[in-house]
Structure 1
Amino acid sequence: MDYEKLTVEMRRLALEAGDKIMEIYNSDEFEVKTKSDDSPVTAADEAADALISQGLRTAFPDVMLVTEEQADTHGETADTFLIVDPLDGTKEFVHRRGDFTVNIAFVEHGVPTRGVVYAPAKGRMFFTLADGSSVEEVGALDKQVMGAISPIRVSAADNAALMVVASKSHRDQATDDYIGKYAVKDMKSAGSSLKFCLVATGEADIYPRVGRTMEWDTAAGHAVLNGAGGKVVRFDDHSTLKYGKDGYANPFFIAYAPSVALKDA
């Protein structure tokens, strides 16, 4: 893989998809449909998916593409693949809460090694460079020219006063019970894959997810967190979360800065 080209293409496509999404987000109204798994989908999901899919297939025709909005890609498997969630946090989008993201990732041998997470309503853009390290781009976001970038790094956590981030739309008692095992200084809620990015920047120390997710929900955020020195492990045995699983469904997991002393489930 040409990682320089991958960085340029993922970043550009995320920004272009973000523009499409915001056009619909800022309209007076939009239709919300329900998919077969009862999850919501909007014209923004579909428009962003069409744009990103076409762009990736043109730029990387020999790399398998898995995307949430194309069910026919969910039965394919490969050792190396691109994986997309064109609009993660559709519930946040529908309720106009702003915590939604565009997610594009590249997986190699079960590991998300490169990725971009763009939150268009918040103007925050996180991605991996060609060398695999992660940055946040700040200032005006130009599709053709990369602007000022700031390297990001996970926190040196204080285990006596941890910063925890949890899901805004999927918080439950099991999550609260697990968080209760830690000495918590402060809690914040966030939607979509932004939670991975808050751990990657050191704004949070740990993000436990005790609930269903799919690989396209997590791969880009996982890649950004990896590139910032973080880790994502299975909730049950603390082994590394792997990708390319049958059906692309994830087990429960924990995303965290390695300085956090993990508690057992």
Structure 2
Amino acid sequence: MATVFRELALEAGDKIMEIYDADDFEVRAKSDDSPVTAADEAADALISAGIRAAFPNVLLVTEEQADTHGESASNFIIVDPLDGTKEFIKRRGDFTVNIAYVENGIPVRGVVYAPAKGRMFYTGADGQTVEEVGPFDRKKQGLTKPIRVKTPDNASLVVVASKSHRDQATDDYISKYQTTDMTGAGSSLKFCLVAAGEADLYPRLGRTMEWDTAAGHAVLNGAGGAVVRFDDHSPLTYGKPIYENPFFIAYAPGVELKSA
């Protein structure tokens, strides 16, 4: 599964970058007013075909196919072919390809590929997370390095937050912590920064869907991190109605979580 996810993420990333590097591309609004581009649609078509060919008996849920949002199963694959479309449109580079496998509510396999950043993170067959070092070859795995969350210093935390969805409520919550650095990142890269020990805490006080978070959540799980609900600090699970998440906190164990 990890091999298929990796190859499809790289192939989708190549297609996305073709459009990203073009002089111009069309941006349209979906029914919920969120933006969509040809890159979202091309990457979705490519990944969906590959997933359905490799895993015909596993439910596929993908952001760009609304008819999949009403389906459910204990185990499923969930895809965001281009997470961070706003970052893509602004040509800021913080966008990712997300593919994850959820088993009984828990994301156990995932790949997050940021083609414009040249960074790729995924969980291996053993459930452990690695970062592959480019340049990337779709058919041959390159050099990988295991990644692990760091041991946090609660007197000097590094916090990562959304670039496009930052609000006063998020800032107010972050102010409850003693921080030494604040960094902004788009898409599911925020989970990966915590997983790689480059940040300690990522709170999200805003609407997200499971396809936005499942792959990053799997990457963080495989690096020793955790994701909990914001309201009661219970584990964030998957397969919820319409695949919508509550507010959540992703963190390295050892962070003394503050209440709302």
The TM-score range, normalised by the shorter chain, is over 0.9
2:157 aligns with 162
- How many Å separate the matches in 2 of 1:101 and 1:31? 19
1:21 aligns with 16
1:202 aligns with 197
2:207 aligns with 212
SS of residue in 2 equivalent to 1:98: coil
1:50 aligns with 45
2:88 is aligned with 1:88:
no
Tell me the CA shift for residue 230 of structure 1.
Answer: 0.2
2:166 is aligned with 1:171:
yes
SS of residue in 2 equivalent to 1:250: coil
Q: Deviations over 1:39-66 (max 9, x none)?
A: 0000000000000000000000000000
* Normalised TM-score (structure 1): 0.98
* Normalised TM-score (structure 2): 1.00
Gaps of 5+ in 2: none
Where does structure 1 differ by over 4 angstroms across 4 or more consecutive aligned residues?
Answer: none
- How many Å separate the matches in 2 of 1:117 and 1:139? 14
- How many Å separate the matches in 1 of 2:3 and 2:162? 30
Tell me the CA shift for residue 119 of structure 1.
Answer: 0.1
Q: Identical aligned pairs, as a percentage? A: 76
1:136 aligns with 131
Counterpart among 247, 252, 256 of residue 257 in structure 1 = 252
- How many Å separate the matches in 1 of 2:254 and 2:43? 37
* RMSD of equivalent CA atoms: 0.3
- How many Å separate the matches in 1 of 2:134 and 2:97? 18
SS of residue in 2 equivalent to 1:189: strand
2:235 is aligned with 1:244:
no
- How many Å separate the matches in 1 of 2:204 and 2:253? 17
Contact conserved, 2:100 with 2:111, CA < 8 A, in 1? yes
2:56 is aligned with 1:61:
yes
2:195 is aligned with 1:232:
no
2:192 is aligned with 1:192:
no
- How many Å separate the matches in 1 of 2:47 and 2:135? 21
Q: Deviations over 1:236-260 (max 9, x none)?
A: 0000001000100000000000110
